[in-house]
Amino acid sequence: MNTSQASRDSDKSVATDESPSVMQHARVHEGWSFPLGATWDGLGVNFALFSAHATRVELCLFDETGEWELARVELPEYTDEVWHGYLPDARPGQLYGYRVHGPYAPEEGHRFNPNKLLLDPYAKQIVGDLKWDEALFGYTIGHPDGDLSFDERDSAPFMPRCRVIDPAFTWGRSRGVQLPWDHTILYETHVRGYTMRHPSVPEALRGTFAGLMVNDVVDYIRSLGVSSVELLPIHAFVDDQHLLEQGLRNYWGYNTLGFFAPTRAISRVKVSMNSRNW
């Protein structure tokens, strides 16, 4: 395998016999090992995934609903323990996941199982919900060998998907506040908890990031002498199975799915609002 920095020069085509005809082939070039994750450069998408012990990595591409797997593309290059490939035909909005091949030796700490669809740990957006099912586990629950067993069921029907994003954003005149630490006063808050009952937050913005940007909220926090707001977990997280069984949800968010993807629950806005409220 190539251990030097790869380029895009070669062009490989990967087909899946069971895929719908619209995506039977996906062109893939070598791409780059950095940055990790799925990176849109305006022409295509580079995929890079770290694994020091994997023997093969398959990129699974899904249709816009996330239900149909359209193609599996084997990442062609391995550089500095990073598997990578560049898809010139991929675009923002593409849903994807990984299947990673390698040793299954739990006693040595290796639990590679390509029957299980994996999320990209560097995904910038995660869509869909995790549906608790025994097929999610790499071992067979209830097997005589316990967690040393190997489960062959496909976990994809129960897994959320990663989505490629376009990171471009026009900041205009907005600039980060450059304050020395000895002048910094942090205010820690929970986005949903703070905005759900605040009387000045419009109903459509309650429980969302946008709710924190309402003028009265900002003015109040500033009146306290606060210089910076620190938010309790806002990244994608999962609702624990035992909570769902009791009709409850994970309020605090301390069960992370992806540290680089904001949770959808507080990213949504029910209706478009006048810009003065943002």
Residues 97-108 have a mean pLDDT of 97
- Residue numbers of the domain that contains 120: 12-163
Answer yes or no: is 1 within a domain: no
* 39, 153: one domain: yes
| pLDDT at 178 (0 to 100) | 85
Answer yes or no: is 168 within a domain: no
Average pLDDT, the chain: 88
Q: Per-residue confidence at 25, pLDDT binned at 50, 70, 90?
A: low
**Is the pLDDT score of 108 beyond 70?**
yes
Least reliable range by pLDDT among 62-71, 180-189, 203-212, 260-269: 260-269
End residue of a domain, out of 163, 196, 215: 163
* 203, 245: one domain: yes
Assess contact for 229 and 221: CB atoms under 8 A: yes
**Is the pLDDT score of 45 beyond 90?**
yes
| Structure confidence by residue, pLDDT tens digits, 203-262 | 999 999 999 999 999 999 999 999 999 999 999 999 999 999 999 999 999 999 999 999
Residues 106-124 have a mean pLDDT of 97
**pLDDT higher for 3 or 269?**
269
| CATH code of 31's domain | 2.60.40.10
| pLDDT at 264 (0 to 100) | 87
* 187, 219: one domain: yes
* 80, 153: one domain: yes
Residues 30-36 have a mean pLDDT of 98
* 19, 153: one domain: yes
Residue 91 CA, distance from chain mean position: 16
**pLDDT higher for 272 or 198?**
198
d(CA 133, CA 6): 39
* 133, 232: one domain: no
Total domains present in the chain: 2
* 159, 198: one domain: no
Cβ atoms within 10 Å, residue 55: 13
* 144, 27: one domain: yes
**Is the pLDDT score of 11 beyond 60?**
no
Answer yes or no: is 128 within a domain: yes
Answer yes or no: is 205 within a domain: yes
Q: Per-residue confidence at 269, pLDDT binned at 50, 70, 90?
A: low
* Of 277, 240, 244, the residue nearest 256 (C-alpha): 240
Least reliable range by pLDDT among 187-191, 212-216, 254-258, 263-267: 263-267
| pLDDT at 195 (0 to 100) | 94
End residue of a domain, out of 102, 132, 163: 163
Assess contact for 38 and 17: CB atoms under 8 A: no
* 159, 39: one domain: yes
Answer yes or no: is 110 within a domain: yes
| Structure confidence by residue, pLDDT tens digits, 127-147 | 999 999 999 999 999 999 999
Least reliable range by pLDDT among 23-27, 118-122, 166-170, 264-268: 23-27
Assess contact for 36 and 50: CB atoms under 8 A: yes
Assess contact for 217 and 174: CB atoms under 8 A: no
Answer yes or no: is 120 within a domain: yes
**pLDDT higher for 18 or 97?**
97
| pLDDT at 138 (0 to 100) | 97
| pLDDT at 90 (0 to 100) | 97
End residue of a domain, out of 163, 195, 223: 163
| pLDDT at 260 (0 to 100) | 97
DSSP 8-state code for residue 162: E
* 208, 153: one domain: no
Answer yes or no: is 4 within a domain: no
* 155, 20: one domain: yes
Answer yes or no: is 174 within a domain: no
Q: Per-residue confidence at 18, pLDDT binned at 50, 70, 90?
A: very low
* 76, 194: one domain: no
